[in-house]
Amino acid sequence: MIRRFTLQLGAAVALCLCGGFLSSQESRAEDIRFTSVPDIFNWNISNPQSGWEDTLDWFFDRLQKEGPDFTLNAGDIMDARWWDDEAQVKRKTEEYWTGFKKRFDDRKMTIYLAPGDHEYGDDGGLKIGHIARAFGKQFTRLMGMPKNGPANHIGRTFFVRKGNLLVVTLDTFEDQGKRVGYTVGKEQLAWLEKTFKANADAEFIIVQGHLPIVGPVRSKNSSASMLKGGTNSGLWKLMVKHGVNVYLCGEHHRITVKKRDGIWQIVHGALWGTQTDLNYLRGSVRPKEMTLELLEFDVEYSGGYIGDHPHRGAKSKPRENVALAAKTKSEGPRVTGALVLSVGSDGSVEATKAAGWFEVKPPKKDRTPRK
pLDDT in tens, 304-347: 999 999 999 999 999 999 999 999 999 999 999 999 999 999 99
Q: Does the residue 365 lie in any domain?
A: no
Measured CA to CA, the distance from residue 273 to residue 90 in angstroms comes to 25
CATH number for 304: 3.60.21.10
Closest to 171 measured CA to CA, from 186, 163, 183: 183
According to the 3-state scheme, what is the secondary structure of 267-281? ECCCCCCCCCEEEEE
Cβ atoms of 264 and 283 closer than 8 Å: no
Q: Does the residue 364 lie in any domain?
A: no
According to the 3-state scheme, what is the secondary structure of the chain? CHHHHHHHHHHHHHHHHHCCCCCHHHCCCCCEEEEECCCCCCCCCCCCCCCCHHHHHHHHHHHHHHCCCEEEECCCCCCCCCCCCHHHHHHHHHHHHHHHHHHHHHCCCCEEECCCHHHHCHHHHHCCHHHHHHHHHHHHHHCCCCCCCCHHHCCCCEEEEECCEEEEECCCCEECCCCEECCCCHHHHHHHHHHHHHCCCCCEEEEECCCCCCCCCCCCCCCCCCCCCHHHCHHHHHHHHCCCCEEEECCCCCCEEEEECCEEEEECCCCCCCCCEEEEEEEEEECCEEEEEEEEEEEEEEEEECCCCCCCCCCCCCEEEEEECHHHHHHCCEEEEEEEEEECCCCCEEEEEEEECCCCCCCCCCCECCC
Q: Does the residue 369 lie in any domain?
A: no
Q: Does the residue 21 lie in any domain?
A: yes
Residues 6+ apart with CB under 8 A from 340: 20, 21, 289, 290, 291, 351, 352, 353, 354
Lowest average pLDDT, out of 14-28, 94-108, 127-141, 252-266, goes to 14-28
pLDDT in tens, 126-182: 999 999 999 999 999 999 999 999 999 999 999 999 999 999 999 999 999 999 999
Number of domains in the chain: 1
pLDDT at residue 27, rounded to an integer: 63
pLDDT class of 348 with cuts at 50, 70, 90: very high
Tell me: pLDDT of 2 over 70.
no
pLDDT class of 366 with cuts at 50, 70, 90: very low
Q: Does the residue 363 lie in any domain?
A: no
| This prediction's pTM | 0.92
Residues 6+ apart with CB under 8 A from 57: none
Q: Does the residue 371 lie in any domain?
A: no
Measured CA to CA, the distance from residue 137 to residue 175 in angstroms comes to 12
Q: Does the residue 367 lie in any domain?
A: no
Q: Does the residue 366 lie in any domain?
A: no
pLDDT at residue 35, rounded to an integer: 98
Closest to 72 measured CA to CA, from 174, 184, 167: 167
pLDDT class of 363 with cuts at 50, 70, 90: very low
Q: Give residue 285's domain range.
A: 2-356
Give the CA distances from residue 183 to residues 58, 176, 322, 357, in Å, rounded to whole numbers and listed in that order: 36, 10, 35, 27
Measured CA to CA, the distance from residue 39 to residue 218 in angstroms comes to 15
